[in-house]
Structure 1
Amino acid sequence: MIKLISDLPEGVVAAVASGEVSGKDYETVLVPAMENAINTHGSVRFLYHLGPEFKRYSPSAMWDDLKLGFAHFTAWKKLALVTDHEWMAGAARMFAIALPCPVKVFPNARYEEAMRWISEK
């Protein structure tokens, strides 16, 4: 499941993933929010929180994640991943070199710091 975090600065999208994230979560929650931010501001700053309740991605969610990233490749302004899941943190660090924006990975204990960083223009 993906839930959006509200009351954020313009151009920032933040979401919390818990349990199993499905393709439907991407299609009905995350993709519309991202596309709205990009259409409105021309770019997006994105914080993704994979907290302790996060279990896994379905194969369709992994596919939708990849499609979302490439469909708007030049619109990424900043990306913050907040997680204690080392496999996700490692993957984010590995792919960060291929992304056109700054990417930072934060542990759950530094969530507030991540939120401040992603909110800065």
Structure 2
Amino acid sequence: MSVQRHGLSVGMERTNGEFFLSVRVCGKLTHRDYRAMVPILESAIAGVDNPRINVFFDATELDGWEARAAWDDLKLGLKHGRQFNRVALVGNRRWQELSTRVGSWFIGGEARFFEDQAEAMAWLEEAA
């Protein structure tokens, strides 16, 4: 019997109109994950004119997306993409790096792939 791990951790901090979103995923991202995560983001930025969002996305234990979750990710990018300032995706697989490049097409800011968490955080802090 194999054990399939799955989990999603979301954190949100706000300093004036700037936001820091931290996401850590284990296993495969699901539609249900987006149904949990998107309201947190939308509630946090509600009523803020021109919010700027920096994202730290730990994908080191990410196994991929369900098809419906990939669609959810695209919709999130189309709806809020201009509000994303910097997205740092930390991973360890080539397809994650390619996903970061494709995802950058749907945001107003920058997205970069990192293999080192400290380098990702340093890059995000430059934007503050």
With normalisation by structure 2, the TM-score equals: 0.77
- C-alpha deviation, 1:44, in angstroms: 1.0
Matched, 1:86 2:71: no
Partner of 2:31: 23
Structure with more strand by fraction? 2
Structure 1: tracts of 5 or more residues without a match: none
- Give 3-state SS (helix, strand or coil) of 1:36's partner: helix
The number of residue pairs the alignment matches comes to: 116
- Matches of 1:63 and 1:93, distance apart in 2: 17
- Structure 2: which 5+ residue stretches go unaligned? 1-6
Greater per-residue helix proportion? 1
Normalising to structure 1: TM-score of the pair?
0.81
* Match in the other structure for 2:20: 12
Instruction: Give the conservation status (yes or no) of the 8 Å contact 2:87–2:111.
Output: yes
What are the Cα deviations for residues 25-77 of structure 1, in whole angstroms up to 9, with x where unaligned?
1111x2123223432652211111111x3212111111111111111121111
Which protein is bigger by CA-based radius of gyration?
2
Instruction: State the match for 1:34 in structure 2.
Output: 41
Equivalent position to 2:59, from 50, 65, 90: 50
Structure 2 SS opposite 1:72: helix
Match of 2:121 among 107, 115, 120: 115
Q: What RMSD over aligned residues (CA atoms) do the two structures have, in Å?
A: 2.1
The one-letter code matched in structure 2 to 1:85 is R
Q: Contact between 1:3 and 1:16, CA under 8 Å: does it hold in 2?
A: yes
Runs of 4+ with deviation above 4 angstroms: none
